[in-house]
Amino acid sequence: MTTLMPRPLLTSLADPGNGGEDRHAVRVGDAALTRSELISAAAAVADEITGATSVAIDATASIETVIAVTGCLMAGVPAVPVPPDSGPAERNHILKDSGAQLWLGAYREDVALPSVLVDSRARSGSTHREPDLGSAAMIMYTSGTTGAPKGVVLSRSAVAAGLDGLADAWDWGPDDTLVHGLPLFHVHGLILGVVGALRHGSPLVHTVRPTPESYAAEGGSLYFGVPTVWSRVCADEAVARALGSARLLVSGSAPLPVPVFERMRALTGSAPIERYGMSETIITLSTRFDCERRPGWVGLPLRGVATRLRDQAGNPVPHDGETLGQLEIAGPTLFDGYLGNFEKTAESMTDDGWFKTGDIAVVDEQGFHRIVGRESIDMIKSGGYRIGAGEVEQALLNHPDVREAAVVGVPDDDLGQRIVAYVVGDCDDHRELSNFVAQTLSIHKRPREIRAVDVLPRNAMGKVQKKLLVEDYRAGR
């Protein structure tokens, strides 16, 4: 596969080619900077950190975080975004594991690293050489669902290739204004939502929090959100209709329920864009601005990315839109490895260099992908059948009285695993709800048990934490 060499990151940040030096490049809440102001403020940070092996950033939803990340990219120092709400154990693990030498942010008594205060009013005219494209740009820490968070090393070339692939898929450029309020310590909010906007020259408006009202007030052309955000937008018809002037509404980080997809299309007049990726791959699949947008499907590989499905024996899986397979990915957006963890890195790769995502998917004849779920938690083996939790969840969400649903497999002496559904909604007749699923899916895919809950446990990106549900079930709660 031939891969085009992407434009260097620093060059594109300093000169996106849009001639918009005097307009706001970024606004976070009430704080705004033009591109020239951002570059000079970031240069002041770069002056302070040049030579460090890596630096940790107190990744609050603030203009200071944008400046700090830009400064790291200018200085060629890997940035380590730290969630501001992380507990002491998680934060200390990230700081120790990453080897960060400085803390970019306000002084904290519980952080032993020397602090560098990021001042949005600081200015420097210094320039910095473009680091090698193969050098590390960021070290992003995973959510730690299978142990302590692992540091995902992303090169400058991987970030550039991923963002350029999205520009091609979404026709993303200087004429867009990007609006989002997502956390600035994940791929979605930080790499796509900040570095992407700066690379492609589109002004960024970060709303601090992703509330429907703040989204509707900004009049952007490109919006990023997670399914929880879009569900709340659709709950306010006036807000949803206000987004009808937007060019693209992008959903990611978790599956978008089909009813929310359909309501977004009905209220805004435009079907949302769905995409798929993870910390280790950035974004690899997306529906395109000029092609079909199919509810429940995340589209086609980005430019330069290749995918394949394999069964448990390593054999190819047919692209028939139905047969489940383990999704593997190759291409220029892949990470360099888990920091200091050669064993885990090797486990995640095939012998011929493909990354094992750990996700189960189907691909149809046109190359469209549908993600069924995580192999470790969403692939349920019940009564000799392999059942994807995602398809059962979508069937439940089609019931008018179900607002949210999460499906897990729990140990069962007879079946191996029993399908248990946690639902948020107003349906008291659980037998009727189980039969409703059996009317649209094979009868063996119906939930054997349904539990009504007020809320589902979610992380900062809106993903349901199913391991907590399984733990609660096993504990008899």
Phi, psi (deg, nearest 5) at residue 100: -60, 140
Q: Beta-strand (E) ranges in 13-149?
A: 24-28, 31-34, 55-58, 79-82, 102-104, 115-116, 136-141
pLDDT at residue 60, as a whole number:
96
Q: At what angle do helices 258-268 and 389-397 cross, to 10 degrees?
A: 50
Q: What are 310-362's pLDDT values in tens digits?
A: 998 889 999 999 898 999 999 999 999 999 999 999 999 999 999 999 998 99
Least confident interval from 146-150, 218-222, 227-231? 146-150
What's the pLDDT at 24? 87
pLDDT for the residue 44: 96
pLDDT at 28: 97
- Tell me the backbone φ, ψ of residue 124, rounded to 5 degrees: -145, 140
Secondary structure of residue 273 in the 3-state scheme? strand
Please tell me whether residue 227 adopts helix, strand or coil conformation. helix
Residue partners of 262: CB distance under 8 A and separation at least 6: 295
The β-bridge relationship of strands 151-155 and 178-180 is unpaired
Angstrom distances, CA of residue 275 to CA of 237, 246, 399: 24, 18, 25
Distances, alpha carbon 150 to alpha carbons 59, 61, 275, 475, in Å: 18, 23, 23, 28
Beta strand pairing call for 325-330 and 355-363: antiparallel
* Spatial distance between the Cα atoms of 471 and 227, rounded to a whole number of angstroms: 24
pTM for this model (two decimals)? 0.83
Delineate the domains of the chain, giving CATH numbers in brackets. Answer: 379-474 (3.30.300.30)
| Band of pLDDT at residue 381, cut at 50, 70 and 90 | confident
Question: pLDDT tens, 261-312?
Answer: 999 999 999 999 999 999 999 999 999 999 999 998 999 999 999 999 999 8
For helices 35-49 and 63-75, give the axis angle rounded to 10 degrees.
60
Distance CA 117, CA 108 (A): 11
Strand order in the sheet with 136-141: 115-116, 102-104, 55-58, 79-82, 136-141, 151-155, 337-338
Mean confidence (pLDDT) of the chain = 90
- CA 384, CA 404: separation in Å to the nearest integer? 28
Interval 440-476: pLDDT, tens = 787 888 899 999 999 898 876 677 888 888 888 887 7
